[in-house]
A and B are shown apart, each in its own frame.
Chain A
Amino acid sequence: MRSFTWLLVALGFCLPAAPATAQDRPETTHDKTAIIDFLDVGQGDAILIRSPEGKTALIDAGPSKEIVRLIRERGVKSIDLVVVSHHHADHYGGMDDVIRAFHPRVFLDNGSSHTTPNYLKLLRLVRDSGMRVIFAGEASRKIELGSVILTVLPQPPEDPHDENDNSIGLRVRYGSFSALLPGDSQSRERAFWMRNVPELVRDCTVLKLAHHGSRNGTDARWLRLVQPKLAVASLGSGNEYGHPHPQTVALLADLRVPLLRTDRDGTITIRSDGEGWDVVSSRHAPRGPPKSEHINVNTATQAELEQLPGIGPALAKRIIEGRPYRTVDDLERVKGIGKRRLAGLRPLVMAR
């Protein structure tokens, strides 16, 4: 097993009653620790959940074949449950290898009709492997992974046009710790959950951003209901889709939700004893809590403001003279900042 350095990235910021230092821990569960790994699989999702009793679930299998190596590196020898949140290849691309390598006991699928020859091939493998197959349905469903409880959110009626809105949503609960895994769900499906089962999405410790941090995967109402202490985005570096979208990053900054990203932080591991929790990343040297990347127009220096596109020394001076700003939109009252320039600044600045 490859030596793996656990590096603490967020202690003391979002970690009430955080348990002991993560560096001292082995990579497998022991005592009463549950572990969630947001595996760095590039542009896709793969989330490994391990219960204190040694039960294991894999939610999605990324786009690639690297997934088996990533799981084995963590000392995992068997998998109890695998989930394909929806039928897009960046979520099931490595699932055939996972099934051949680990022979999972149960396969959970969204049951949607969206298909491709690749998905059909996976489905045939699932059928022929003889594993138990279950589907997300109209009613919510509980899966006990030892003392970690997975609640499968109810599925809205199938969307024949956008498979993202057929994603399986999962709430992971261990004691007072919880994580929400909403697949690639977009506005329609999230609105369905908020309207019909708000109690299942409310107040989650950790939120995996839907659809890799896309602007259609997160909105203010959703964040205000979920109230995450930490957001995690699973995505590939330099992806062609612009994930995470600046609007999502700005929204999280406005609501003061720290964001960790697999493209920058590598695999993100969260451990909980059922009360406190801590978070470690595989890539970066120890650093402070995740920082907002936005420039605060109320406190930034002249030089910092001049880093913004279209802001020279004169405009930066006028911004400073016009303080304070209650919202970013207040910048429009600064002479020289019209609607167009403000639109360009909005993803990069905040007013606090």
Chain B
Amino acid sequence: MKIRLSIDHFEGDRKQIAVLLTDDGEQINWPKKLLPRGTKAGDILSFEIERDLEATKQVSEQTRQIQEELKHRDPGEDLKL
């Protein structure tokens, strides 16, 4: 999926937030540090977005493994601190 966005202006006390505009006028705040160096107001940006299913699966599986390990150690009883 490809999206065209333009940089309307920069906001924030250090102008660290880029205000991006979609073609139908919706505004998106985007950290300036996540833009290519030299990007300036008025630039047109091209965003390509795709789901990373492999990474999603990996994170999900790693989370499940740690939770299983930790749940195994929880006796489930009331607790006195």
Query: Hey, which bits of chain A sit against chain B, CB under 8 A?
Result: 55, 80-81, 105-106, 109, 111, 113, 115-117, 119-120, 123-124, 126-127, 132-135, 137, 139, 141-146
Contacts and interface: CB of A to CB of B under 8 A. Distances in A.
Given A116-B59, A127-B69, A134 B64 contact: no
B66 interface: yes
SS class of chain B's interface: helix, strand, loop or mixed? helix
Given A80-B81, A81-B81, A135 B63 contact: no
B63 A115 contact: yes
16 contacts: A109-B70, A120-B59, A120-B62, A123-B63, A127-B66, A127-B70, A133-B73, A134-B76, A135-B70, A139-B76, A141-B76, A141-B77, A141-B79, A142-B78, A143-B78, A143-B81
B67 interface: yes
Interface of B: 59-60, 62-64, 66-67, 69-71, 73-74, 76-81
A113 B60 contact: yes
Nearest to A146: B81
Contacts of B76: 134-135, 137, 139, 141
B51 to A, nearest CB: 14
A139 B74 CA distance: 14
Contacts of A145: 81
Given A113-B60, A113-B64, A117-B59, A55 B70 contact: no
Given A55-B81, A106-B81, A111 B63 contact: no
B74 A134 contact: yes
Contacts of A81: 81
A111 B71 contact: yes
A187 B14 CA distance: 41
A133 B76 CA distance: 10
A120 B63 contact: yes
A146 B80 CA distance: 8
A85 to B, nearest CB: 16
Contacts of B63: 113, 115, 119-120, 123
Closest 10 pairs (CB-CB, A-B): A115-B63, A142-B78, A133-B70, A144-B80, A80-B81, A143-B79, A134-B74, A123-B66, A120-B63, A120-B59
A137 B70 CA distance: 14
B14 to A, nearest CB: 17
A139 B77 CA distance: 10
